[in-house]
Structure 1
Amino acid sequence: MKGKSILITGAGGFTGMHACEYFAGIGMQVYASVRHLDTNVLFGEKIVCDMMHKEQIYAMVRQLQPDYVLHLAGRNSVPESWKEPVSYLETNVMSTFYLLDALREIPKCRTLVIGSKLKFDIRVTSQPPHPYSLSKTMQQMAVNTWVHLFGQFIMLAEPSNLIGPGPSTGICALLARKMVQVERNVTVEPFRLSSTEETRDFLDIRDAVRAYRIILENGKQGQSYPIESGKLLRLGEVFQTFQHYARTPIPVEVAGNDAGIHAPVHHANPFVMNELGWQARIPFDRSVQDIIQYFRNQ
């Protein structure tokens, strides 16, 4: 991919910042698409484009003629989607339709759309659990439709909970922020855990971006790729890991009383893109240390 061009939408976000750095680092021409002119872009050429504006997207694609596209732009908060359901559909679904349709003019372009494991299976139910799930399910339908009807080379990635250094809004970043505030003697409310027994798969953002590169280069047209670390952690374990590296105790409250309750057995998907030769490399412990260091440096 060295010497080729890649358009990265949502380049100002947590994943976008890491993606721009990574793809620039392997010698690609990076076009970093952001919505606002004042968005800071450290790697690549900044391109200002409102992904809700169809004509701007068409003009951007026509001008850049990218070899690859990594579509990260969108909104990803479940609670927020309840408050602004239509906005989530516009942002996650219509921007994808606009982008994919614009790319019909470049049939050789390989495109990777970043989906979500929170989508629902329309073969099982027609009732989504929340508006965000509906938007990501419809986004996947857009990908499948454009592959089927127009033969475009589009793929879908479904990462697990992404963590790592940077301005994330996930649980690990929230814990690190709280921890650093306490270390600086800032009076804060206790960190609220929904449960200590709930399990999640956590994947370092740097491993995820490396997976995106492998999919873009070697993935199969129309294929959906789950990207996971393959290791499930209880939220209680996550909190204890942060507490281990904290310089002072982190105040915490558990929303539910799950003492003595065993967590249900969940099995992380062992497949994790084995057919493409990818596996997660960065252990959770190192991710936590890097996250903490990031927020201590702020």
Structure 2
Amino acid sequence: MRDPGRLRHRRPQAGIGADRLLRDGEGCGERDRKTGQRAFRPEPAGNHPRARPAPAHLQADGRLRSFRPIRPGSSLGADRQSRPARLGGRRSAPEGGGVAERLTSRRRVVLVTGVDGFAGSHLCELLLQEHHLVHGTTRHARPSPQAELPASVRCHHVDLLQRASVDALVKRLRPDWVFHLAALSSVADSWADPAATLINNVGAQANLLAAVARLVKQPRVLVVGSTDEYGQPSGRARALDEDTPLRPVTPYGVSKVAQDFLAFQYYLSLKLPVVRVRAFNHTGPRQSSHFAIPSFARQLALIELGRQRPALRVGNLDVRRDFTDVRDMVRAYRLAIEKGRPGAVYNLGSGRAVSLRRILASLMGMSRRPVPVRVDRALIRTVDPRTYICDAGRFRRATGWRPQIPLGDTLRDTLEYWRRVEAAS
């Protein structure tokens, strides 16, 4: 079969869905809070060393070697060769005045799977700002308190692997839009139990797509993939576009490729209006501390409180990743479900790479006390691509989307989030 990214697709159908206001479902959570392809020039060798023993980037006393930090309010803090003009000290406004002004204002019934997950909670806030009626599925009877869900979100405790339960929920809600975010997303956990990752991620989506395909008026569906689908890119470091071969190197990456292709088959065979996105790394408040940046931030918060000995455990700091603030990422999801072309796939990312070493140094610069760094080899992956950079040109041309929040602000907000959470625990 030809690569889905290379196939031509039909234009989206107009008028999909109807404006319905449903009152069923239970409220949950806390109170409302205000709240093609381009080349990449790698860093000079002197600034970006080749692979070497992990402790080599540390000084003798365990502290990081000195380099330019990412400051709050600064631009995304990418390496100099790939950094655009500075955005200034404030977050710049989205093109066209913001998502709500650029898109239709009709109220819709929305279903978000994994509503109490990292991205799901932020997506809900955006949808509620637009006055949509938001329903969400949760894995457990009580939504995760870490999600801080607004009370107006209608939560449904549904096992997505139980087809009858999924069928009943979709038939009852008859949503206009479906954002499928629910997934097991830890690479480490996918190695610990590969079968569970594959069964959960592929099986849940199979049940969901089967249910929505049976509706008389089929909703638009957004399926969220991952940069892990690209795995270990061949050749020199460059920005990855949608035509880059998929070469996953982890069970999690394999599961996301399967989700990607399954969604595409529903479009080809049943003309289900599915839009696929491959989201590169995104981070921010509420992300699990199983991931690098929130792990750094949480450890710093615990050390400041005197609840962790003053030593920061880290893995491989030499990898460079394309980071986007989660609040920018969910804005892209919102644009994609309305303006994306059914059957198409879009990469989502900033187009700029930054090393974890530099990110850690920036967070440590925001800390209230100096902290030595200790490399834990158990946190270093056997296969870990050195650099990921996103080419989001296709999506930008289709929607005008660009990330707006500087990485320095994202890091500050993440550290403040963990300070608040740990101080209250």
Return the TM-score normalized by structure 2.
Answer: 0.64
Distance 1:155 1:125, change over 3 A: closer
Specify the alignment match of 1:76 in structure 2.
Answer: 185
Specify the alignment match of 1:160 in structure 2.
Answer: 280
Bigger-Rg structure (1/2) = 2
State how far apart, in whole Å, the 2-side matches of 1:142 and 1:28 are.
28
Shift of 1:218: 0.5
Shift of 1:273: 2.1
The 3-state SS of whatever aligns with 2:226 is coil
Find the partner of 1:280 among 389, 403, 406: 403
The Cα RMSD (Å) is 2.3
Specify the alignment match of 2:207 in structure 1.
Answer: 98
Q: Could you list the per-position Cα deviations for residues 164-201 of structure 1 after superposition, in whole angstroms to 9, with x for gaps in the alignment?
A: 11143321111110001111122337333333332111
Find the partner of 1:117 among 214, 227, 231: 227
The 3-state SS of whatever aligns with 1:118 is helix
Which has a greater percent of helix? 1
Specify the alignment match of 2:160 in structure 1.
Answer: 51
Counterpart mapping for 1:158-237 below 5 A? 158-169=278-289, 170-188=291-309, 190-237=311-358
State how far apart, in whole Å, the 1-side matches of 2:359 and 2:372 are.
14
Q: How many residues align?
A: 291
State how far apart, in whole Å, the 1-side matches of 2:133 and 2:179 are.
13
- Structure 1 residue runs of 5 or longer lacking an equivalent are 257-262
Specify the alignment match of 2:413 in structure 1.
Answer: 290
Q: Could you list the per-position Cα deviations for residues 131-157 of structure 1 after superposition, in whole angstroms to 9, with x for gaps in the alignment?
A: 111111111111111111110000111
Contact 2:312 2:374 in 1 (8 A): yes
Q: Could you list the per-position Cα deviations for residues 104-129 of structure 1 after superposition, in whole angstroms to 9, with x for gaps in the alignment?
A: 123431000111111158x9999852
> Which amino acid is the alignment partner of residue 294 of structure 1?
Y
Specify the alignment match of 2:13 in structure 1.
Answer: none
Deviates more, 1:241-250 or 1:104-113: 104-113
> Which amino acid is the alignment partner of residue 191 of structure 1?
L
Shift of 1:14: 1.0
Aligned-residue identity in percent: 28
State how far apart, in whole Å, the 1-side matches of 2:115 and 2:320 are.
30
Distance 1:127 1:214, change over 3 A: closer
> Which amino acid is the alignment partner of residue 116 of structure 1?
S
Find the partner of 1:15 among 111, 119, 125: 119
State how far apart, in whole Å, the 1-side matches of 2:123 and 2:244 are.
34
Tell whether 2:264 aligns with 1:144.
yes
Contact 2:322 2:388 in 1 (8 A): no
Deviates more, 1:236-245 or 1:99-108: 99-108
User: Greater relative contact order (Cα 8 A, min sep 6): structure 1 or 2?
Assistant: 2
Return the TM-score normalized by structure 1.
Answer: 0.91
Deviates more, 1:190-199 or 1:154-163: 190-199
Which has a greater percent of strand? 1
Counterpart mapping for 1:127-142 below 5 A? 128-142=248-262
Distance 1:296 1:55, change over 3 A: same
- Structure 2 residue runs of 5 or longer lacking an equivalent are 1-104, 232-242, 378-384
Contact 2:310 2:371 in 1 (8 A): no
> Which amino acid is the alignment partner of residue 117 of structure 1?
T
Shift of 1:2: 3.5
Specify the alignment match of 1:260 in structure 2.
Answer: none
The 3-state SS of whatever aligns with 2:190 is helix
> Which amino acid is the alignment partner of residue 251 of structure 2?
P
Counterpart mapping for 1:57-68 below 5 A? 57-68=166-177
Shift of 1:295: 1.1
The 3-state SS of whatever aligns with 1:291 is helix
Distance 1:279 1:54, change over 3 A: same
State how far apart, in whole Å, the 2-side matches of 1:255 and 1:35 are.
31
State how far apart, in whole Å, the 2-side matches of 1:229 and 1:125 are.
20
